[in-house]
């Protein structure tokens, strides 16, 4: 499916991270990519992140999955919502929903959460810290939009859900199948199903916090720092008051910290690895027996279609000339020449055919072997 009546340039300049936008069915042909029963089946599986939210006695009750199959028949006529995370990792047709939105860089894309709700179902008024496209798959849903929220916004006393205590809608839309609602971070919203079999696909984006970046990077730096890397003052002179921490000492101490944080290449390597680490590492395509270069050459000679593992994260950073650093599933690969071109192609498309000249390049072939053996790539051959 493609977006045929959507102006990407206008959206990015006027709406992205600025204000909500209702996009009436912009698809060339909308077709709901997942059956509700299949979504319920996923929610019953171990290892799949799912939640069941039931509206009872005027309050929302949360259960974490896996959901027992018989639980659905016990819900009766009360409004309820099923939420299943990262469905794009399991269902190819849902994964394809991300492709039209790749005008946002890969490193910012998180996953596709799918919700199913009966009439009246929802999760309550809330706000998120990230951008999201809400694609209506089946049924109808009413979305009410409020103002911007922050840490001072008052929340209801609820042990499981972060629900707004004071939600005042300023705009309201009813979405039909194929319609899309874009919401920037921190915009209050509340969606309620107006029909049974109401399905919504939430294409979410990642926005690392300053605290996460500092905490995780400094943790990584600490692992590399030798014990003997310590403060020293061989030019120490006597002070009039020994209780003073001198300006010179503070400058040296601050310099020790900022010098470590100022290494741009070290940060680039760390962030690429950190950002590309899989959210769900159990979705592994690694072969039982590692492939050799010759094994892979034989597979590629059959015009095999190479595919990215949908749970894997691919991104790259240019290093000047014909070189790039490729980051995949927490690993960094230094690439140049044919392997650099291959790395860029792998980041641009979800599947591809490897040309003969690339398969004959030792560095490019070695890159492919490593990615196959770590479970980041898979292959389909003609039967």
Q: Which of 69, 65, 68 is nearest to 84 (CA)?
A: 65
What is the 8-class DSSP label of residue 310? T
What is the reported pLDDT for 4? 80
CA distance 380 to 36: 28
Residue with structure tokens 């002070």?
239
Helix (H) or strand (E) holding 61: strand 59-64
Q: Which of 215, 216, 214 is nearest to 274 (CA)?
A: 216
What is the 8-class DSSP label of residue 29? S
Would you call 269 helix, strand, or coil by DSSP?
helix
Task: Look over the chain and give the mean of its residue pLDDT values, rounded to a whole number.
Answer: 93
φ and ψ at residue 324, rounded to 5 degrees: -140, 155
User: Got the DSSP string for 316-354?
Assistant: EEE-STTEEEEEETTEEEEEETHHHHHHHHHHH-SEEE-
Residue with structure tokens 């040296």?
252
- The structure's pTM equals 0.91
pLDDT along the chain (383 residues), means of 10: 85 97 93 96 95 86 92 89 96 94 95 97 94 98 97 89 93 97 97 96 96 95 93 94 96 95 94 95 89 91 89 94 94 96 95 90 96 93 54
CB half-sphere exposure, 111, CA atoms < 13 A: 20
What is the reported pLDDT for 281? 85
Ordered structural domains, the chain, with CATH = 8-205 (2.60.120.650), 210-220+260-383 (3.40.366.30)
What is the reported pLDDT for 374? 95
List CB contacts of 92: < 8 A, sequence separation 6 or more.
310
| Burial tier of 225 (Cβ tally within 10 Å: 0-12, 13-18, 19+) | exposed
C-alpha distance from residue 362 to each of 308, 321, 368 (Å): 21, 20, 10
What is the reported pLDDT for 282? 83
What is the reported pLDDT for 381? 59
CA distance 270 to 309: 22
What is the reported pLDDT for 248? 94
What is the reported pLDDT for 22? 97
Q: Per-residue pLDDT tens for 334-357? A: 999 999 999 999 999 999 999 988
Q: Per-residue pLDDT tens for 129-142? A: 999 999 999 999 99
* 321 in Cβ contact with 284 (< 8 Å): no
C-alpha distance from residue 85 to each of 16, 74, 275 (Å): 23, 23, 19
């Amino acid at each position: 499916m493609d977006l045929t009546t959507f102006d990407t340039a206008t959206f990015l300049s006027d709406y992205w991270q600025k204000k909500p936008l209702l996009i009436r069915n912009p698809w060339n042909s909308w077709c709901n990519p997942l059956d509700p029963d299949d979504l319920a089946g996923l929610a019953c599986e171990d290892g799949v992140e799912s939640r069941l939210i039931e509206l009872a006695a005027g309050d929302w009750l949360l259960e974490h999955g896996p959901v027992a199959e018989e639980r659905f028949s016990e819900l009766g006529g009360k409004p309820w919502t099923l939420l299943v995370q990262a469905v794009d990792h399991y269902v190819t047709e849902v994964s394809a929903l991300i492709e039209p939105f790749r005008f946002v860089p890969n490193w910012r894309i998180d996953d596709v959460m799918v919700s199913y709700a009966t009439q009246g179902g929802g999760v309550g008024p809330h706000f998120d810290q990230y951008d999201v496209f809400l694609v209506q798959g089946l049924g109808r849903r009413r979305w009410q939009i409020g103002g911007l929220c922050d840490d001072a916004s008052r929340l209801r006393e609820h042990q499981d859900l972060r629900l707004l205590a004071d939600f005042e809608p300023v705009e309201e839309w009813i979405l039909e199948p194929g319609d899309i609602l874009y919401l920037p971070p921190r915009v209050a919203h509340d969606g309620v199903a107006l029909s049974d079999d109401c399905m919504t696909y939430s294409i979410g984006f990642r926005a690392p916090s300053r605290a996460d970046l500092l905490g995780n990077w400094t943790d990584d730096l600490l692992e590399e720092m030798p014990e003997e890397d310590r403060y020293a003052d061989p030019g120490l002179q006597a002070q009039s008051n020994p209780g003073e921490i001198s300006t010179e000492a503070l400058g040296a101490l601050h310099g020790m910290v900022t010098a470590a944080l100022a290494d741009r290449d070290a940060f680039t390597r760390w962030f690429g690895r950190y950002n590309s680490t899989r959210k769900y590492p159990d979705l592994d395509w690694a072969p039982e027996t590692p492939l050799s270069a010759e094994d892979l050459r034989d597979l590629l000679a059959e015009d095999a279609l190479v595919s990215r593992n949908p749970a894997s994260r691919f991104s790259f950073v240019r290093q000047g000339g014909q070189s790039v650093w490729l980051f995949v599933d927490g690993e960094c690969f230094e690439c140049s020449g044919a392997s650099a071109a291959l790395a860029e192609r792998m980041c641009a498309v979800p599947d591809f055919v490897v040309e003969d000249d690339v398969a004959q390049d030792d560095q490019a072939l070695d890159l492919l072997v490593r990615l196959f053996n770590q479970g980041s790539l898979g292959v389909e051959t003609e039967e």
